[in-house]
Each structure stands twice: as C-alpha cells, then as structure tokens.
Chains A and B, each alone.
Chain A
Amino acid sequence: MTDYNFIGKRIPRVDGLAKATGKATYTVDVKLPGMLYGKILRSPYPHARLLKIDTTAAQQLPGVRAVITGEDVRQVRYAFVDTPRYPADEQPLAVDKVRYIGDEVAAVAAESEAIAEKALSLIKVEYEILPPVFHPEEAMQEGAPVIHDEQFEGTSFWEEWGVTEQKKAVKQNSAVNNLSGHTLISFGDIEQAFRESDYCREDRFELKATAHCQMEPHAAVASYDPLAGKLHVWLSTMGIFLKRYFLSRALNMPASKIRVHHTFVGGAFGGKIDLFPYEFCAAYLSMKTGRPVKIELDREEVFMTTRQRHPIIVKIKTGVKKDGTILAQDIKVIADNGGYRGSGPVVIFLCHGFSFPVYNVPNYRYEGFSIYTNNGIRGPQRGHGAPQIRFAIDSQLDLIARDLGLDLLEIMRKNVRKKGDVLPNGDQLNSCGLTECLLGAAEAINWQKKRKQFRTMENAGRYRRGVGISLCSMFSGAMYYPFASAAVVKLHDDGSATLFTGAQDIGQGSYTTLSQILAEELGIGIEDVHVVAGDTELCPIDLGSFLSCTALVTGNAVKKAAADAKRQLLESAAELLGVEDLTRLKAQQKTIFLEDNPEKTLSFSQAIQASVLKRNGNPIIGHGSYKGYPRAERYPSLAKGKGLFTGAYGFAAQAAEVEVDTFTGKVKLLKVVTFHDCGYPLNKTIVEGQIHGCTSMGAGQALSEEVYLEKGQLFNPSFLSYRLPISLDTPESIEGIVATIEPSGPFGAKEVGEGCVAGILGAIANAVHDAVGVRIYSLPITPEKVLRALGRI
C-alpha cells in the first residue's frame, strides 16, 4: 500500500472531542429567544375521510399562538419521489383523507410544550371511517379499498432541472390496485435459459418493517425573519441542499431565501432524508407567528410517523447448471410503502440496482411493485433494498447448493462478478474484490472445517452450531439532486486551511475523512484543517450523506479543491524561489521545497502572504467539484432500470456463526465476519466502525427487529419492545479490508457505510439452516419461527 501521511491512518475524529464533552450542538439542543413549541395532532384511524375540524377551543386556550389544519396548506404537495411518472402525493396536513395511524391532521404552536399538548386535546375532528387494507398482496387485488383517489397535478421536482423529456404524468399499470411504483427490467432470454437449466427452484421470502432507531429524535427549529424574507432552519438531516430544495418547493419560496444551519446529527441511517410534516409545520408556524418554532417528535412519533424500512416479499425462480452456474433468475418484489409513496418506486429499483452487480446472471427478469397500504410510511434505510434482496437471493442459493450437494462457497465463487466486468446497464466494475472478500470471509469463519464439524454427532444436542455466508454490493453515489458535490478550500496566512463542504457528518465520520483528504493533498496537518459544513449559506452544493456518496463524490471534490489551492500556492512560491517549472516543487508539512534541492524551502505562510501582496490580493481559494457520476448524463430510470447507476460499487462478503437452542428456538450470534472492498480505507478506524454498525443493524434485522403492526397500529414504539441490539448481543467481530484501489475514487476510496448491512441477513439465515437443518424464509428469525420449523410447536 502507498505510504501516505494521513490517508489510511487511524486519525481520531475531528469532531470527537466536541461530542465526548457534551459541547456538540444537535438540533434538539437549539433554543432561540422567544421560541414557541409546536405539536402535531395525528389520526387515530388508518383510513378515514376528514369531515370537519373545529379548532376554536384550541385557538382560545391562553398561550396558544397558532393552530393550522389542512385548510391552510391545501395546495402544498411534496414527496421524496416527485417525477412526471410519480408526482408528489404527500401534504403536510391531511386535506381530504387520513391514510395511516399517525397521519398529520393539525399543528399547534404555543408558549410551552404542555400548552401545545393541551391545545391538541381541544381540537375536535369528525371522521368517516373507511375500510382499510394492510397487506400489499390484498391491496393489489381488484376491489381492495383505494387509498389514493385524488388527482395529482403540477410540475415535477425534476423538470426544473431540465433532466426529463417526459412532461406529462404517465398512466400507471391499472391492472394492479394501489400501485405506487413499478419496475420492470430484463435481459437475455429467460424462458430459453430455464429450459436449458439442469435444476430450477422457486421460493418466497418475506421481511418485516424495521426502524432506524437514530438516537437523536427527529426535530426542527424554524425562525422566519420577515424583514429579510428569510427562513432560518435547524434540521436533523442528511442532506442540507436536498432538504432546502424540498422546503423551497413546499413553501413556494426561492431556495436562497431558506438557510439550513449546521447542527450535529444524532444518527440518520436513511431516516432523515425526506421532508417531514413536522419540518414544514415548524417553518409555516414560524412564518405565521413571527416567532421561532421548535417541533421535537417524541420517541413514539419517531417510530410511528417518520419512516420505516420497507417490508418486502421476494419471489425468486433460479435456474442453474449441474455445477451451480446460474443461467437464469426471475425475481418478483412487492414492497409495502404504507399510506404514502415514500421511497417505494426507489426501493423496488434499488433491490435490483444493489444486487445485480454481485452475480453474473446472463438471463434475468426483475419486476418490482410498490404498493399503498394503510400502514406507516416507508423510506430509505441503510442499504435501501439491499438487505431484503440479498437475504432472499443468497438464502435461495444456499438451498440450491444443498439440493445439488454442492458447496455454497464454490457456487458463489463460480458466479461472482469480477473486475473489468461491464454490467447490463453499462456500469463498469473498475474495481471489484468480491472473490477476495469471499475467500477472506470464508477463511476467517473457518468455513471448510466448521461446515464438516457441524455435521457430526457432536452437533446433535440441545445447542447446535452452524455457519453461513452471503455477499452484497452498494453504490458510491449516483445522479440525483443536486447532481454534484463541490468544495472550497480557503488558505489562511498562518498556513492552515478551512474546508467548506455541504456534506453533513451524520456520525459516519465525513468531517474526519474529508479533512484527511485535504491534509494529504495540500501538505498540511489534520490540526491545520478547519471544517465549515452543513450550512446552505456558507457551503457549496453537496449531494448529501446518502447513497454512500460522501467518500467518493464529496471526497473527490475536496481533493480537487485542495489541489487547486495547492497549485496557486506553488505558483506563488515559484515566483519567490525563482523557479519556472512547478513540478520541481513539493509541498509537505506546510513547507514548500525544491525536490532537487531540499535545502531551499519556503513556508506556506510566506507563499500565502506573498500571494496576497503580489497578486492583486489573491488570498488563495481552491475550488473543486465532482458529479454524482461523471459518465452519466442524468438520473437512471426507476421504472425501466435504464441509464447508468453509479461510478463505483462497494462489495462485501459476510459470514456468521450461530448457536441455536433447539429447546427454546433462540438463535445466538457468536461471530460475524465482514470482508469489505472499500477501494482503499481513508481511515481504518472509521471503516471498521462503519462495518460494525452495519453488521449490528443487519444482525438486529435478522434476529429480533420488527416494527410490529396489527391493523395499522404499532405495538412496539419503544426501544425495549422493539428490541434492537444492546451491548450484550455483541458477537465476536472480525473485519477484513480488501483494498482494490478504485480508479475514480479519491486515493482509491469508495463505499463502506451501507453495503455490509445486507450480507449479514443471509449469512445468519444460512447459518441457522446449517445448524438445525431447517430454513426460515421470513425475517426476523424469532424463537417461535425456529420452533415451528423444527416441528416443536
């Protein structure tokens, strides 16, 4: 590996001390003079028509400053997906109908939270209860209650950017009821390939909704300045520019009249991208009252009314040759996106996009449906579709291996894609360490030995052990608003630099890795880098911290900005040193020297000061930018899967060893192994931290986590009843970093923060099968399901 000063090193987080001392300010900590507190009245019914809302008593309660209902915001529509095909279907407060338990009906701003709470109880709402539907396969049937019967109008989100050729809404597949999104992708000749297969198998898998469980609850503070016509907001968000854009459309204000201020973000995991009604209402109430307004959701509201991971049904038919070579795969995915579209059309596209880079399947048909139901809204969650589809595909591949008497490892090895492969959509795998990841993970879990050992009589008692393995992949950024990230590097006359970046550190460590990139490229120390981030007024545009774009896309922008600053610095130094050829100059540790005469040096300070004095006051400001995917012209088609998806895929292989208690059905996760191809680790501690976080979240989803809904009512809206992993669940963890050096990545880096949430599910399910000889087709693998499969209950 190349010897860098900062890249690849275990540099402590630059924001670590602020967080360790309690000084880091999160949105929930923001308190402004004269601030009012907002609360939201929510629907108790999963599906009902709004007949009448009477807010008179609430308005008259002393201390109440404003009450708003759907009548005030009738025209406002926005959504995570807002394209000509899929126009925005959300409104901040219900206008004609409520569509899930928790749907927003009215909002109050008052002098205290207690008064706002009291005011909610004084609002009288009359509903006409409508028949609800909760299961997507029932909702798809003819005659099922229709959840969205309104007419959508207006221009779409993307049209303003000139990135669409379609101007009219496309009529959707009317054969399916409550359809919110449809994806159909195929290549090769699937029927012919099934006929040529030696063995075919069809299975159905199911995954339940899960919760993000960010430790910081969702909150917003808004403060409207009527004189300047400017709205200031503090939001717990993953992408300040996307959020500003959503808000500007919803409030019908120019984007520049909205300023998103920096706050630290107490975890996001995909659940803080969408514009939420509480954010809109905080802004609207501030504009109405002329006072700052804060709305903080309580934990139950976070579970119920923000976003959940899509529960998904996957049906797969796979045809293979005798030796396990995959010939054909026919995949059907049904995602339940709840009462509003959320990211439904995106997740059914990404189930394909995050999975097809793993195996070379020459004949393929993929069809995805996202369906409205009267459940809570579903949105992106770490891996966004990858855990669901990877669990299904690799569970089935393990079954095929067992049916054919082959080793799963060998089947995987035979079918994985390799460096140099071009995917059916045109994406190129310029780096791909799938084989190395697979072999590394198999060795670390001791695959060959344990697979044999666990088939002996020793493993026939009450407690039985097994091992399993699975693979996954993930984008490193893509084309979506604002389609590029930019960075500015400003040099100070003491030789240090300030980085201006729109990228928000959501806990993943981007302020640190971006500082490392800047320090390495420019030749200064980490302590010389000051980060100004997450502020739409001060910082240049950025894609935001999702789709795993920060390391590669923002990282490249920062690297370019640092290089630009360095070029100007060297130009100034060259004049002082009397050198014409800039390539003779090197910069390190804030010093510039001649490579062929290292005695001749100049400090950064001297060169910067000289630049200011000699070059028309030029203080040296470097600019850099990088497109979400330079080869791509526009965003890919969600419906057809056409177009380029991402410039670089991250890959991982994950293995698990479990112990199953055959008396209680309880599965204990003993060991997890992740070998991740992240291109090149910018910071090993941070890369390992991402792997640990992913595997823990994936293990939770595999074994215990489920948003438990009964007739649309959430039964476990608290951490203890939801049952996410706690410290006692922590297994032995082994991580391997496979450095393939992605050519387009900054210092070779690509994705690490999301992909490896996905492989652990299949690894655990396959390990359980290995241990007790039964297949669990539905996650989470609860003791009850294990005992049922074993025939004990």
Chain B
Amino acid sequence: MKKKIRLIVNGEEKVLTIDVQQTLLEVLREDLGLTGTKKGCNQGECGACTVLLEGKPVSSCSLLAVKADGKAVTTIEGLAKGGQLHPIQQAFNEKGAIQCGFCSPGMILVTKSLLEQNPNPTTAEIKEAIAGNICRCTGYVQIIEAIRSLVP
C-alpha cells in the first residue's frame, strides 16, 4: 500500500509517495539518495542508522517512514553548512575518532543531540549517550576524547 508523506529533511521539505512498509532508513537511502545514513544491522542494535527526528536520535531502520510524516529529520548530510564543517565533525576528525567511518554519521548525530541537551557532560554521561552506537575500530577511546574536547 502506498501513502504520501511529507518530511522536512535537513530543512528542506520533501513530499514523497512511499510504500507503507518502508522504514525511514530505506526512504532516506533509496528514495532520497542520502546514503550517509548507514545500515549496519537493520535490527535497531548498532546505531549506524541514527538520524535526528525533531532533534532526538532514533534508529531509522526501526522506524516506519509513515511515522515520521510531517516531522523534521536531520541526517549527516545536514550538518555541514555552506561548506563549513560542524565543530563535532571537525573534532571527530582531529582526535582520531574516525577510522572506517561507518559508525561516524550516527555517532556524530548522537553527539549533537547530547551536547544540545547537556553542553557539559561528564565522561560517564558521554559513554552513556553513545552506548547505543557500536564502533568496532576505535574501542571508543578517541570518540570519547573528541566529544570531551567539545566540552568547554
């Protein structure tokens, strides 16, 4: 069954006719070509598909796109503005928080949400915030350091 939905993706309105079975991840990747959002497990366990829905992190693989109808979605493509990288992207790159890069989009978006809610998190709070995002390359050490470097 098809349904028409309206998404505000990275500030831009998108009106799409989709199959109601499609997840938000599938719509972003397949219909909108936003492949920065990654499919790591498609089971809602790894966090690679994290996007911000109305500013809050969600696993887009476990959310039907129709549930996002009318809502604002931020993907990794929406972070850098006018060729200027977001400070989180800068910090991740400088501190070695990116290796293979497959978890990075989700990890960066979760960090954005964390710092908006709590600009001054402790290390324990940082670990808690990214606990739903798996990274196999870094052992999390340099990711935690990168986030700490953004705390004033």
State in angstroms the CA–CA spacing of A10 and B142 once bound together.
13
Partner of B102, one of A10, A216, A685: A216
Partner of A20, one of B35, B85, B127, B133: B85
Give the contact stretch, choosing among A171-179, A398-406, A416-424, A717-725.
Answer: A717-725
Q: Does B56 contact A (CB under 8 A)?
A: no
CB-defined interface of B71-100 with A at 8 Å, one 1/0 digit per residue?
A: 000011101100001000100111110111
CB-defined interface of A287-319 with B at 8 Å, one 1/0 digit per residue?
A: 000000000001100000000000000000000
Q: Does B7 contact A (CB under 8 A)?
A: no
State in angstroms the CA–CA spacing of A628 and B64 once bound together.
51
- Chain A residues with CB under 8 Å of B137's CB are 267, 507, 689, 693
State in angstroms the CA–CA spacing of A97 and B77 once bound together.
48
State in angstroms the CA–CA spacing of A594 and B117 once bound together.
58
Give the contact stretch, choosing among A21-29, A515-523, A643-651.
Answer: A21-29
Q: Is A28 in contact with B39, judged by CB distance below 8 angstroms?
A: yes
Q: Does B40 contact A (CB under 8 A)?
A: yes
State in angstroms the CA–CA spacing of A730 and B92 once bound together.
18
Q: Does A129 contact B (CB under 8 A)?
A: no
Partner of B136, one of A10, A215, A508, A695: A215
Partner of B39, one of A22, A217, A265, A269: A217
**Given A267-B102, A692-B142, CB of A685 within 8 Å of CB of B93:** no
- Chain B residues with CB under 8 Å of A265's CB are 100
Give the contact stretch, choosing among A11-19, A346-354, A476-484.
Answer: A11-19
State in angstroms the CA–CA spacing of A264 and B137 once bound together.
14
- Chain A residues with CB under 8 Å of B126's CB are 727
State in angstroms the CA–CA spacing of A422 and B102 once bound together.
42
Chain B: CB-nearest residue to A20:
B89
Range of interface residues on A (Cβ < 8 Å): 35 or more
Q: Does B54 contact A (CB under 8 A)?
A: no
Q: Is A724 in contact with B136, judged by CB distance below 8 angstroms?
A: yes
Q: Is A19 in contact with B96, judged by CB distance below 8 angstroms?
A: no
Q: Is B128 in contact with A13, judged by CB distance below 8 angstroms?
A: no
A603 CB to nearest chain B CB (Å)? 28
Q: Does B70 contact A (CB under 8 A)?
A: no
Q: Does B55 contact A (CB under 8 A)?
A: no
Q: Is A215 in contact with B135, judged by CB distance below 8 angstroms?
A: yes
Q: Is B100 in contact with A507, judged by CB distance below 8 angstroms?
A: yes
Q: Is B93 in contact with A16, judged by CB distance below 8 angstroms?
A: yes
Q: Does B48 contact A (CB under 8 A)?
A: yes
Q: Does A696 contact B (CB under 8 A)?
A: yes
Q: Does A637 contact B (CB under 8 A)?
A: no
CB-defined interface of B126-150 with A at 8 Å, one 1/0 digit per residue?
A: 1110111111111111111000000
Partner of B139, one of A15, A29, A695: A695
Chain A: CB-nearest residue to B129:
A727
**Given A507-B99, A724-B134, A728-B127, CB of A22 within 8 Å of CB of B35:** yes
B132 CB to nearest chain A CB (Å)? 8
State in angstroms the CA–CA spacing of A726 and B107 once bound together.
12
A697 CB to nearest chain B CB (Å)? 7
Q: Does A362 contact B (CB under 8 A)?
A: no
State in angstroms the CA–CA spacing of A697 and B144 once bound together.
17
Q: Is A20 in contact with B136, judged by CB distance below 8 angstroms?
A: no
**Given A20-B108, A21-B77, A727-B133, CB of A264 within 8 Å of CB of B40:** no
State in angstroms the CA–CA spacing of A583 and B34 once bound together.
53
Q: Does A553 contact B (CB under 8 A)?
A: no
Q: Is B142 in contact with A685, judged by CB distance below 8 angstroms?
A: yes
Q: Does B41 contact A (CB under 8 A)?
A: yes
Q: Does B60 contact A (CB under 8 A)?
A: no
Q: Is A20 in contact with B104, judged by CB distance below 8 angstroms?
A: yes
Q: Is B96 in contact with A507, judged by CB distance below 8 angstroms?
A: no
Q: Does B37 contact A (CB under 8 A)?
A: yes
Give how many B residues have a beta carbon under 8 Å from the other chain's beta carbons.
53
**Given A217-B39, A719-B46, A728-B128, CB of A696 within 8 Å of CB of B100:** no
Chain B: CB-nearest residue to A687:
B96
Q: Is A693 in contact with B138, judged by CB distance below 8 angstroms?
A: yes
Q: Does B9 contact A (CB under 8 A)?
A: no
State in angstroms the CA–CA spacing of A725 and B96 once bound together.
19
Partner of B127, one of A28, A688, A719, A730: A730
Q: Does A686 contact B (CB under 8 A)?
A: yes
A378 CB to nearest chain B CB (Å)? 18
Partner of A12, one of B93, B130, B141: B93
- Chain A residues with CB under 8 Å of B89's CB are 17, 20-21
CB-defined interface of A28-45 with B at 8 Å, one 1/0 digit per residue?
A: 110000000000000000
Q: Is A19 in contact with B101, judged by CB distance below 8 angstroms?
A: yes
**Given A23-B36, A718-B43, A727-B144, CB of A697 within 8 Å of CB of B136:** yes
B19 CB to nearest chain A CB (Å)? 9
Q: Is A696 in contact with B139, judged by CB distance below 8 angstroms?
A: yes
**Given A21-B85, A693-B139, CB of A217 within 8 Å of CB of B92:** no
Partner of A215, one of B29, B134, B139: B134
Q: Does A285 contact B (CB under 8 A)?
A: no
Q: Is A730 in contact with B140, judged by CB distance below 8 angstroms?
A: yes
- Chain B residues with CB under 8 Å of A724's CB are 134, 136
State in angstroms the CA–CA spacing of A13 and B134 once bound together.
21
Q: Is A267 in contact with B136, judged by CB distance below 8 angstroms?
A: yes
**Given A727-B131, A730-B139, CB of A217 within 8 Å of CB of B101:** no
Q: Is A686 in contact with B101, judged by CB distance below 8 angstroms?
A: no
Q: Is B140 in contact with A299, judged by CB distance below 8 angstroms?
A: no
Chain B: CB-nearest residue to A729:
B140
State in angstroms the CA–CA spacing of A13 and B131 once bound together.
25
Chain B: CB-nearest residue to A695:
B139
State in angstroms the CA–CA spacing of A688 and B142 once bound together.
9
CB-defined interface of B94-124 with A at 8 Å, one 1/0 digit per residue?
A: 1110111111110010000000000000000
Q: Does A736 contact B (CB under 8 A)?
A: no
Chain A: CB-nearest residue to B109:
A22
Which of A507, A697, A724, A725 gathers the greatest number of chain B CB atoms within 10 Å? A507
A513 CB to nearest chain B CB (Å)? 12
Q: Does B45 contact A (CB under 8 A)?
A: yes
Q: Does A779 contact B (CB under 8 A)?
A: no
State in angstroms the CA–CA spacing of A681 and B93 once bound together.
19
Q: Does A752 contact B (CB under 8 A)?
A: no
**Given A28-B39, A217-B39, A733-B141, CB of A16 within 8 Å of CB of B136:** no
CB-defined interface of A691-716 with B at 8 Å, one 1/0 digit per residue?
A: 01111110000000000000000000
A689 CB to nearest chain B CB (Å)? 5
B136 CB to nearest chain A CB (Å)? 5
B103 CB to nearest chain A CB (Å)? 5
- Chain B residues with CB under 8 Å of A22's CB are 34-37, 75-77, 105
- Chain B residues with CB under 8 Å of A726's CB are 131-132, 134, 140
Q: Does B42 contact A (CB under 8 A)?
A: yes
State in angstroms the CA–CA spacing of A87 and B35 once bound together.
41
State in angstroms the CA–CA spacing of A579 and B131 once bound together.
63
Q: Is A266 in contact with B41, judged by CB distance below 8 angstroms?
A: no
State in angstroms the CA–CA spacing of A298 and B77 once bound together.
25
- Chain B residues with CB under 8 Å of A695's CB are 139
Scan residues 263-287 of chain A and give those whose CB is less than 8 A from a CB of chain B: 264-269
**Given A22-B37, A215-B100, A730-B127, CB of A17 within 8 Å of CB of B134:** no
Q: Does A213 contact B (CB under 8 A)?
A: yes
Q: Is A508 in contact with B99, judged by CB distance below 8 angstroms?
A: yes
Which B residues are closer than 8 A to A by beta carbons? Answer: 29, 34-43, 45-46, 48, 75-77, 79-80, 85, 89, 92-96, 98-105, 108, 126-128, 130-144
Which A residues are closer than 8 A to B by beta carbons? Answer: 10, 12-13, 15-26, 28-29, 212-217, 264-269, 298-299, 506-509, 685-686, 688-689, 692-697, 718-720, 724-728, 730, 733
**Nearest 10 pairs between A and B by C-beta?**
A22-B36, A507-B100, A19-B101, A696-B139, A266-B102, A22-B76, A16-B93, A692-B139, A215-B102, A20-B89
For the complex with contacts A298-B42, A692-B142, 8 further pairs of A-B residues with Cβ separation under 8 Å are A20-B85, A20-B98, A506-B100, A507-B137, A724-B136, A727-B127, A727-B131, A727-B135
